[in-house]
């Protein structure tokens, strides 16, 4: 299977030199026709990653390839936000027609607004004002605008985060039709649970500027901290995969090393009394298995 999107060691800084980069040697390979998810907390860099993947934000270092080429026009990559950036008094059709009129790219086919409305299941909302839409319909309108470019790669920025369960199912159904047509899809979300209706083939976590597989974690770092609830809330700003287990915190290790996790704790002022590495199997389960059987 050919690679549709390849990000290699992408580093992007938005602030002065010497500060933490928003993306730090992030790498990602997306096969053609695949659907993958990227999860990360607010401010983790997921939006920057998608904009870079679309060729709209340049990297300080690293490279982006679309279907094996560095040329942006071969990408046909389009970003869809959670809601359309449109005047609230414009109707859905009027805004899509205006958006189509602004596309000045000879490399793409002539935009077909009516076909896009049908593809995104928006015909019944064509005359409704954008400002009167529910979050679920607004997400599909934003998707429709992205489809006007007839993209080969579709990038959705937290479209599922603001939706209810039924609305997620409806959006996932629309994306399902695109997947069947062979479109490559990358969806960013706050947490993996947001993408349950979509059921992407792979999910990656964006942690400390790097991408790690969220489905192949083999080791976990357990931290002994004085106030686990407060410490988890603070650490989750930098490491969204952290979770609490009793009076300790646990951080799945994929691309992050134990030293990096401890460094994040120090920078956030979190006191760590002790730490230890756990294997993939839960220690509590191993202890239960090792207990001798009770006597009758």
- Inform me whether the pLDDT recorded for 217 exceeds 70: no
- Inform me whether the pLDDT recorded for 296 exceeds 70: no
* Domain C-terminal end among 207, 236, 269: 207
Asked if 127 and 194 sit in the same domain, the reply is: yes
Q: 144 with 96: CB under 8 angstroms?
A: yes
Asked if 249 and 113 sit in the same domain, the reply is: no
Structural domain span for residue 258:
217-287
Cα separation of 172 and 195, whole Å? 9
Query: Does a structural domain hold residue 296?
Result: no
Q: 119 with 145: CB under 8 angstroms?
A: no
* Domain C-terminal end among 207, 239, 271: 207
- Comparing 17-31, 126-140, 273-287, the range with the smallest average pLDDT is 273-287
Query: Does a structural domain hold residue 94?
Result: yes
**pLDDT (0 to 100) of residue 236:** 85
Which tops the pLDDT comparison, 206 or 286?
Answer: 206
**pLDDT (0 to 100) of residue 284:** 37
Asked if 76 and 185 sit in the same domain, the reply is: yes
Residues 6+ positions from 117 with CB-CB distance below 8 Å: 92, 93, 96, 123, 126, 144
Asked if 44 and 184 sit in the same domain, the reply is: yes
The mean pLDDT of 16-31, rounded to a whole number, is 82
Q: Give residue-wise pLDDT tens across range 45-97.
A: 999 999 999 999 989 899 999 998 887 776 688 999 888 888 889 999 999 99
Rounded to 5 degrees, φ, ψ at 61 are: -155, 160
* CATH, residue 221: 3.30.70.100
* Domain C-terminal end among 185, 207, 229: 207
Instruction: Residue 253: name the closest of 213, 224, 289, 293 by CA.
Output: 213
- Inform me whether the pLDDT recorded for 293 exceeds 70: no
- Inform me whether the pLDDT recorded for 288 exceeds 90: no
Asked if 112 and 177 sit in the same domain, the reply is: yes
The mean pLDDT of 207-229, rounded to a whole number, is 77
Asked if 12 and 127 sit in the same domain, the reply is: yes
In the chain, % of residues over pLDDT 90:
35
DSSP one-letter string for 145-213: HHHTT--SEEEEESTTTT--HHHHHHHHHHHHHHHHTT-EEEEEESSGGGGTTT--SEEEEEETTEEEE
Cα separation of 159 and 168, whole Å? 9
pTM above 0.75, yes or no: no
């Amino acid at each position: 299977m050919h690679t549709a999107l390849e990000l290699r060691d992408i580093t992007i800084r938005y602030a002065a030199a010497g500060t933490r980069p928003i993306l730090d040697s992030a790498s990602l390979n997306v096969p053609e026709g695949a659907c993958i998810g990227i999860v990360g907390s607010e401010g983790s860099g997921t939006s920057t990653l998608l904009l870079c993947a679309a060729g709209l934000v340049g990297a300080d270092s690293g490279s982006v390839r679309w279907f094996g080429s560095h040329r942006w026009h071969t990408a046909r990559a389009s970003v869809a936000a959670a809601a359309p950036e449109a005047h609230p008094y414009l109707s859905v059709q009027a805004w899509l027609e205006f958006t189509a009129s602004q596309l000045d790219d000879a490399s793409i086919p002539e935009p077909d607004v009516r076909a896009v409305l049908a593809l995104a299941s928006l015909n019944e909302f064509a005359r409704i004002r954008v400002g009167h839409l529910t979050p679920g319909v607004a997400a599909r309108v934003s998707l429709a605008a992205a489809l006007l470019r007839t993209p080969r790669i579709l990038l959705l920025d937290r479209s599922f985060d603001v939706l209810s369960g039924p609305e997620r199912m409806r959006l996932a159904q629309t994306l399902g039709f695109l997947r069947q047509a062979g479109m490559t899809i990358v969806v960013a979300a706050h947490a993996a649970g947001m993408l349950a209706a979509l059921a992407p083939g792979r999910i990656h976590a964006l942690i400390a500027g790097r991408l790690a597989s969220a489905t192949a974690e083999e080791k976990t770092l357990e931290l002994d901290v004085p106030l686990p609830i407060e410490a988890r809330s603070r650490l989750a700003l930098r490491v969204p995969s952290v979770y609490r287990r009793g009076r300790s915190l646990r951080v799945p290790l994929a691309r992050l090393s134990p030293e990096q996790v401890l460094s994040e704790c120090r920078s956030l002022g979190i006191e760590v009394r002790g730490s230890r590495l756990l294997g993939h199997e839960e220690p509590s389960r191993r202890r239960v298995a090792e207990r001798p059987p009770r006597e009758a």
